[in-house]
Homo-oligomer: A and B are copies of this chain.
Amino acid sequence: MLTSRSVLRALALAATLVLSTPLGAQSAAQRAAAAKPAAATYKPEFGTMWTFDAPPIDYWRRTYGFAPDQKWLDHVRLASVRLPNCSASFVSSKGLVMTNHHCGRECTASSSPPDSNYIQTGFAARTLADEKKCAGLYVDQLQSIQNVTDRVRGAITGKTPGEQAAQRSAIISQIQTECNQQTQLNCQVVSLYQGGIYSVYRYRRFNDIRLVMAPEGDIAFFGGDPDNFTYPRYDLDLTLLRVYENGQPYTPTDYLKWSAAGANENDLVFVVGNPGSTGRLNTIAQMEYLRDVGYPASLAAYKRLLATYSTLEQTDTSAARRYQNDVFGVANSQKAVTGYRAGLLDTAAMAKKRAFEQDLRARIAADPALRAQYGGTWDAIAAAQRELGTFSPQLRYYGFGGGSQLLQLGAGLVRVAAFVNAPDSARLPQYRGQGLTNIKNQLLAPAPIDTAFERLAIAAQLRAAQSELPANDPFLRVALAGQTPEARAAALVRGTRIADQAVRQQLIQGGQAAIESSTDPIIVLARAIDPLNRQQLARANALNAIITANSEKIGQAMFAAYGTTLPPDATFTLRISDGVVKSFPSNGTIAPFKTTFYGLYERSAAFDDKFPFKLPQRWVARKANLNLSTPYNFVSTNDIIGGNSGSPVINKNAEVVGLVFDSNIEGVSNRFIFSSEVGRTVSVHSAGIVEALRKMYDGARIADELQGR
C-alpha cells in the first residue's frame, strides 16, 4: 500500500533538495547539453512521471500512436486533486471525489457517530443530507505551473553556501507570497531535477469536504500486511468524498467520466497523481550507501521493533490489538525498504545505471570547462558517503533510536536546557527559531509511558549497540553501566521519574542547573551521551551538505543534458504517467492482468476466513448478490510511488477505468531504477467499484452518479 507514511518521508526528502544553487551552473550546464547528441530518446530507467508543463507528446505518439492535445491535458489536470498525503480526482458533475480508503481513513473514523465506527462497519450516505463533514480535510486543485528558475537564480548573489541558502529561501518565500496575494491561490515553489528547475505550482484549495462512502476497513485492506505491496490482490481500497461550496455540492467544470468498458488487457492507460519521492537521479555512490549501510540499518531496526511487539503480544493477549497500528506501520516500512533495497541489489539494473553515469561522466571529463564545473561532483559525493559509512553505528546509537519514548524525552530535556540560552547558530537545526518552543511544548505534553514496551525496546537497542559498536566505545560504557542490556533497561525504566509530566516541567524550569544536578538515571545517561551525539551530528551534517550541494550540480547537469526527455524525481506534485494494462511473469507462472470477486472469496476460504483474510459480515451475507466474475483489481505498467495513492487510472478518453492503491512487490524496487518488466501499479477496477456499490452498499444513488445516469 502506498501509505501517507511513505509520502511524509518523501516530503521530508524532497525538502532537502531545495537548497543553494552555485553560480554559473546554468551556462556550464548548457554547455553540457551542447556536448551531448540530440537526447530526445526516452530513457526507460528514469520512468514516466511527467510534469504537466512538459508532457512527452512525441514519445507518446511514437509509442502508442496517441498524442493528447492541450485541451485533454488541461481537462485531466483540473479533474485531478491532491489530498494532504494522497491523490484524488473529481468523478462527477456534483463534486464527487474518488480516493483510497487509506487516504480517507481519518475522515471516516472521525465522522463516525459515538456508538459506531465506520472503519469497522463501512458507510454509504443514503442522501446528500447524510454526507458527513470531514473536519480539517482539504483538497488542492492545480491551476497552473510557471517556471521561475531565472528569478530564483538571479536572486542568489552570495558567495558562501550559507548566504546562498538564505537568499534562495527568501526569494522562494517572496515568490510564494506575491503569488498568493495576486492570485488568491495557494502557491508553492517546487525544486525539480535537484535544482535544475524551479517552478511555482498554483493550487485552488477546497475546504468543505464530506464523506459519501467508505467500505469496511477489512474489505478495503483485505489481506492486511501479508498482501500489502503484492498482487494478485482483492481490495476495495476506496473512499468517495464530495466537495461542497457554500453548503452545496460543488459543480466542477472538469471531472472524469466513468468508462463503460473499464480496464482491459493491453489498454493504454494514464495515472494522474502526486508521487512523493523517488531517487532516480541519485549517484551510484548514494545508491550503494543506501544498499550497504542505510537500508540494512533501517531493516535491522524494524526487525528489532517487530520482535519487541511480538514478545509483548505473547505475554499479553490485549497487546496484539493495542499495537496493531504500530506493528502495521513498521511492517509496511520493512516491506517498502526491503523492496527499495531489492532494486539496488539487482545487479543488471545497477549495471544499466552505472553505464549511464559513466557515460555522462565521460562526456563531462572530455570538456575542460565542464570538467572544471562538474568533474569533481561524483567523487565528492562518493567520498562523503564513504566517510558517513565509517561512523554510521555511532550516529544511530548515540541518537537513542529504537522506539523508546523515555530516552527521547531524556535527550530532549538535556538539549532544551543546553540550547535555551544559546544563539540560534549554536543550536541543532530543529531547535532553531520556533523549533525550541515546539519541542519544549512536546516535552511538556502528557506522554503515557508503556513501561513493558520501554524495557524491551531499550534492552533490544542496547543489545544491538553492543553487537555493532566497538567494545571500547564510550557510548557502551555509559549506556550499559556495567550491566547486561536487560538489567540496565529494567533499572532505567524503574529508576526514572521523567514519565511524570510535573518532573519534566521542573527540569525545564530549572534550566541547565537542574539538568546538571539531576540524578535521574535517564537524565544522567542523556547528559553523558549528548556531547558525543552532537559531535557526530556535526560531522554528518557537514558531509550531507557536501552531498546535497554536489547532487544539485549533477541534477542541473543532467537536466541541461537531457531536458524534459527525462522526467524529474517525484516531488509530491502532479504528474501524468503512461502505461499499459498488462499481466506479468510471477511465481513461475503468469499473474493475470485482473482479479475478480471469485478471488476474494478464494483467498478468504484458503485462509479459513482468518484475519487479515476475514470478510466483513456484509460480504458473507450478500455474496449471492454479486456477479463473482466482475473485474475487481488490475495491474498496469504505470510509474507510481507513495503519494500516488488514490490517483485515477484513465483511458485515452480521459474516462476512469480504475483507482490506484498500491504497487506489486516487484514494483517497489522502482524507487531508484524504473522497470516495467515485472513492476506493476495495482488498482481497483472501475467495474468492481460499481458492482460493490450497487450490490453490497445499496449505493445505486452513488453508482448512478458515477456512471452519469
* Residues of B with C-beta under 8 A to A601: 598, 602, 628-629
* Residues of B with C-beta under 8 A to A223: 589
A598 to B606, CA, bound (A): 9
Q: From known contacts A595-B602, A602-B596, A606-B599, infer whether A230 and B628 are also in contact, taking CB-CB under 8 Å.
A: no
Is the CB–CB distance between A230 and B606 below 8 Å?
Answer: no
How many copies of this chain are found per oligomer? 2
A232 to B232, CA, bound (A): 11
A605 to B594, CA, bound (A): 9
Interface residues of A in 590-618 (CB under 8 A from B): 590, 592-596, 598-599, 601-603, 605-607
A646 to B524, CA, bound (A): 70
A665 at the interface (CB under 8 A from B): yes
Is the CB–CB distance between B587 and A606 below 8 Å?
Answer: no
A668 to chain B, nearest CB (A): 8
A593 to B599, CA, bound (A): 16
A328 to chain B, nearest CB (A): 14
A228 to B589, CA, bound (A): 8
Mask of A641-685 contacts with B, CB within 8 angstroms, 1/0: 000000000000000000000001100000000000000000000
A227 at the interface (CB under 8 A from B): yes
A226 to B587, CA, bound (A): 10
Is the CB–CB distance between B589 and A586 below 8 Å?
Answer: no
A232 to B223, CA, bound (A): 16
A52 at the interface (CB under 8 A from B): no
Q: From known contacts A594-B606, A629-B605, infer whether A230 and B599 are also in contact, taking CB-CB under 8 Å.
A: no
A358 to chain B, nearest CB (A): 27
* Residues of B with C-beta under 8 A to A247: none
A598 to B232, CA, bound (A): 15
Interface residues of A in 564-597 (CB under 8 A from B): 586-590, 592-596
* Residues of B with C-beta under 8 A to A598: 598-599, 601-602, 605
A527 at the interface (CB under 8 A from B): no
Q: From known contacts A596-B606, A605-B598, A606-B594, infer whether A589 and B226 are also in contact, taking CB-CB under 8 Å.
A: yes
Is the CB–CB distance between B230 and A665 below 8 Å?
Answer: no
* Residues of B with C-beta under 8 A to A665: 587-589
Residue of A586, A589, A607 with highest tally of chain B CB at under 10 A:
A589
A229 at the interface (CB under 8 A from B): yes
A610 to chain B, nearest CB (A): 10
A596 to chain B, nearest CB (A): 4
Is the CB–CB distance between B592 and A606 below 8 Å?
Answer: yes
Is the CB–CB distance between A599 and B602 below 8 Å?
Answer: yes
Smallest CB gap from A613: residue in B: B592
Is the CB–CB distance between A606 and B335 below 8 Å?
Answer: no
A278 to chain B, nearest CB (A): 20
* Residues of B with C-beta under 8 A to A587: 230, 586-587, 665
A665 to B590, CA, bound (A): 13
Is the CB–CB distance between A588 and B230 below 8 Å?
Answer: yes
A1 to chain B, nearest CB (A): 12
Among B227, B589, B594, B602, point to the contact of A589 (Cβ < 8 A).
Answer: B227
Smallest CB gap from A224: residue in B: B589
Interface residues of A in 224-270 (CB under 8 A from B): 226-230, 232
* Residues of B with C-beta under 8 A to A592: 603, 606-607
The 27 listed contacts between A and B (C-beta, < 8 Å) are A223-B589, A226-B589, A226-B590, A229-B588, A230-B587, A230-B588, A230-B589, A232-B606, A335-B588, A587-B587, A588-B664, A588-B665, A592-B603, A592-B606, A594-B606, A595-B606, A596-B605, A596-B606, A598-B599, A598-B601, A598-B602, A598-B605, A599-B599, A599-B602, A599-B606, A601-B602, A601-B629
Closest 4 CB pairs of A and B: A588-B665, A592-B606, A598-B602, A599-B602
